[in-house]
Chains A and B, each alone.
Chain A
Amino acid sequence: MGAIRTRVLPRAERRTEPRQRQGIKQWLIIGAFILPGAIIYFLFLILPMIQAVYYSLFKWNGLGPATDFRGLDNYGLVLNHNIFQLALQHSIVIVVLSLVIQLPSALLLAIAVGRKLKGRMLFRTIFFLPYVFSEIITAIIWTYVYHKNGLVNIILGALIPNYQPATLLADTNTVLFAVFAVITWKYFGLQMILYMAGLQQVSEEIEDAARIDGATEWGVLRYITIPMMGPTIRLTVFLSVLGSLNQFAITWVLTNGGPVSASELAATYMYKFGIVRFNLGYGSTVAVILFVISLIFSVGYQRTLLRRDYAGRVS
């Protein structure tokens, strides 16, 4: 066993104990500290994903061992299934809406609240509140809000004369946007908090210097504040894309992916066609495809945009 360098023991030769025993003791500690977490992590995260790749090659209803080997057939079936394609399109719509609507408005709001607006802590507390509710509670409350006689229709009815109550969740044209509104309601505060944290990294002195040099407020925002928040913005884009690709519970409880698959998302598709219909082989295939999509995005994004933010931080 080679001598092991530790920062805890920078000058091991000062110890009276023989160096060899110290080394063994260190390895024991390392082993004992890593093993419990590593076992759980391997059994319930790594191994299931490896198995998913294996089962994705079988037609398997989950009863008994998987024997009906089909090679890559499942992949062809999933990728050519029109509902899967629809679900993937819907997931992309949610991603795009998050990036185009959710993030910029959270950013503008964080900047508007700024560093010293009176009552900013109160507003922050309120906006962040939905983050602590479970997705199931969120979905149930919003089922009521969207109800034919619910909050949305009552408020719109009071504001607009001759308003006809709409059932947003039952209309194939509106359901996806109605679901997106609920997702925004729940996660908007999280993004705002991250931006408020990023804003604190921006030096006020530099902003003031620009103002003294005659920059307009818009100029300060455009050329100083927002560029300096770059690392935070890139991180929220990353989290938001991954989060949107993995929407499940809110959509499932609000609509079950319906009506007629109009709000089917990638994850609700996997649940419906993999588990509810007991096609565990087919469902594993969907899981592997979604994982590959996430992996390509994550690795690509980290290699290009996130890299410089963390260069030097991770040794």
Chain B
Amino acid sequence: MTTLPSRTTKPKMSPIDLWWSFLKYAVLVLLSFIVLAPVITAVLGGFKNTGELFQSPFGIPQVFRWENYTDILVNSSFWQQLANSSIIVAGDTILTVTFSSLLAFIFSRLDFPGRDLLFNFFTLGLLFPITIAFLPVYIQVRQMGLLDSYFGVILPLVAFGIPGATLILRGFFRAIPVELEDAAYIDGCDTLGFFWYILLPLARPALGAIFVLETIKAWNEYFLPLLILNDEKRWPLTLGIMQFQGQYATDWGRVMAFVSLLIVPAVAFYLLTQRYIVTGLTGGEIKG
């Protein structure tokens, strides 16, 4: 480890420093346990029956009850729900990323009368969390005849995703130097060419961040589908799990198996895309 010259005068770790760092690690390990214990017991629990689940939550299952999983997986409604979730995620992410990058381009690189006013109008949406708005949104979706359709869930998600995504992307677009724009222009690029061939490729980390954050949001969405989709054939996995919880009210093993089927891909996705998530949430201030 390289140390700065000023640090070389620092004394060796005193006993107090040692205690401090021991204390730090003890607290961090304890908190890690609190975070992970419920998740680990849920995944282990997917292999247990109810009795075992409550007797030894941390124990390795005595018998691995794969039937908890196979019963869910042979049930065609699981695959239907997986497809529904995927449709909602794909629709929401594609539309949100597309519309927001178009808007962010206008608000960051073009200048026209009323631009800032229009931008403020779009950021107004940041003050309407979807939780406050879900009843009005439900009324509107119903009036448009979109109940029980994928678009009835996707379009409100896009509308509520646009303000935040536009704000983040606008910040990234503005950071791209004007000199680059001038150079592109001198080389014969027009506005569209600059946007498509220069700006978008350069903003890839930011686009990735929006894409990943929207994916998590849409995949996890619970009460919009709850309100808008009455038809069980359209239910995403987040509603499917409620159906399971009701159906197997006392069968915690099966509920935990369903939970695990949702958790494991989520964790894998998280570990793969962590860099983008951190970039998106912190505006690129820390490296993933």
A interface, CB within 8 angstroms of B: 2, 4-10, 26-27, 29-30, 33-34, 36-38, 40-41, 43-49, 51-52, 55, 62, 109, 112-113, 117, 119, 123, 125-130, 132-137, 140-142, 144-145, 147, 149-151, 154, 185, 189-190, 193-194, 196-198, 200-201, 208, 212, 242-243, 245-249, 252-253, 267, 270-271, 274-275, 280, 283-284, 286-287, 290-291, 294-295, 298
Shortest Cβ distance from A126 into B: residue: B32
A158 smallest CB distance to B (angstroms): 11
* Distance of A194 Cα from B281 Cα, bound (Å): 7
Residues of A within 8 A of B271 (CB): 125
For A140, the closest partner residue in chain B by CB is B259
Cβ-defined contact, B136 with A137, below 8 A:
no
Complex Cα gap A142–B252 (Å): 12
Q: Please, how many angstroms separate the alpha-carbon atoms of A200 and B234 in the complex?
A: 45
> B100 contacts the other chain (Cβ, under 8 Å)?
yes
Contacts A44-B137, A140-B245 known; list 14 others, CB within 8 Å: A6-B111, A41-B125, A45-B159, A47-B140, A123-B32, A126-B32, A136-B241, A137-B220, A144-B38, A189-B35, A246-B129, A246-B131, A271-B135, A275-B227
Q: Tell which of A27, A29, A134, A287 touches B135, judged by Cβ atoms closer than 8 Å.
A: A287
Q: Are A44 and B57 in contact (CB under 8 A)?
A: no
Label chain B's interface by main secondary structure.
helix
> Which of the residues B36, B129, B140 comes within 8 Å of A44, measured between beta carbons?
B140
Residues on the B chain within 8 Å of A147, using CB: 54
B41 at the interface (CB under 8 A from A): yes
Interface residue B34 (Cβ < 8 Å from any Cβ of A): yes
Q: A167 to chain B: closest CB distance in Å?
A: 13
**Which residues on B sit within 8 Å (CB–CB) of A109?**
27-28, 31
The residues of A that contact B31 with a CB separation of less than 8 Å are: 109, 127
Instruction: Verify B112–A4 contact, CB threshold 8 A.
Output: yes
Which of A33, A151, A249, A291 is the one whose CB lies under 8 Å from B132?
A291
CB pair A134–B262 under 8 Å, yes or no, is: yes
A271: chain B residues within 8 A (beta carbon): 134-135, 223
Partner of B28, one of A30, A113, A133, A151: A113
Q: B133 near A: Cβ within 8 Å?
A: yes
6 A–B contacts from the bound complex (CB under 8 Å): A7-B109, A109-B31, A133-B220, A200-B286, A271-B223, A291-B127
Complex Cα spacing A291 to B220, Å = 24
A129 touches B133 (CB 8 A): no
Q: How far is the CA of A235 from the CA of B27 in the complex (A)?
A: 26
Between A2, A129, A132, A201, the greatest number of chain B beta carbons within 10 A of the residue's beta carbon is seen for: A132
Q: How far is the CA of A295 from the CA of B57 in the complex (A)?
A: 45
| Given A29-B192, A34-B103, A190:B262 Cβ within 8 A | no
Known contacts: A7-B109, A133-B266, A149-B54. The answer to whether A193 contacts B278 by CB under 8 A is yes
Q: Quick check: B238 and A134 within 8 Å, CB to CB?
A: yes
User: Contact partner of A45 among B41, B110, B160, B221, CB < 8 A?
Assistant: B160
What class of interface size applies to chain B in its complex with A? 35 or more
Stretch at the interface among B61-69, B71-79, B177-185: B177-185
Query: If A44-B159, A201-B285, A275-B227 touch, does A132 touch B266 (CB 8 Å cutoff)?
Result: yes
Q: Does A7 lie within 8 Å of B131, measured CB to CB?
A: no
Q: How far is the CB of A267 from chain B (nearest CB, A)?
A: 5
CA distance A18 to B263 in the complex (A): 59
Residue of A nearest to B144 (CB): A43
User: Nearest 9 CB-CB pairs, A to B?
Assistant: A134-B220, A37-B99, A48-B136, A44-B159, A197-B282, A149-B54, A246-B131, A52-B136, A33-B102
- Contact indicator per residue, chain B 261-285, by CB within 8 Å of chain A (1) or not (0): 0110011011100100110011101
In whole angstroms, what is the CA distance A113 to B216 when docked?
27
* A294 & B129 in contact (Cβ 8 Å cutoff): yes
Q: Across the interface, which residues of B come within 8 angstroms of A119, CB to CB?
A: 28
In the complex, what distance in Å separates the CA atom of A193 from the CA atom of B287?
11
B140→A51 contact, CB < 8 A:
yes
A43 touches B191 (CB 8 A): no
Q: Is the CB of A6 within 8 A of B110?
A: yes
Decide if B247 is an interface residue (CB 8 Å cutoff). no
Q: In the complex the two chains form, is B110's CB within 8 Å of A30's CB? A: yes
CB contacts (< 8 Å) of B200 on chain A: these are: none
Most chain A beta-carbon neighbours within 10 Å: one of B37, B140, B158:
B140
Given A109-B31, A132-B266, A151-B38, check contact A37 B194 (CB 8 Å). no
Q: B102, A37: Cβ atoms under 8 Å? A: yes
The complex places the Cα of A152 from the Cα of B28 at a distance, in Å, of 19
Closest to B286 in A: A197
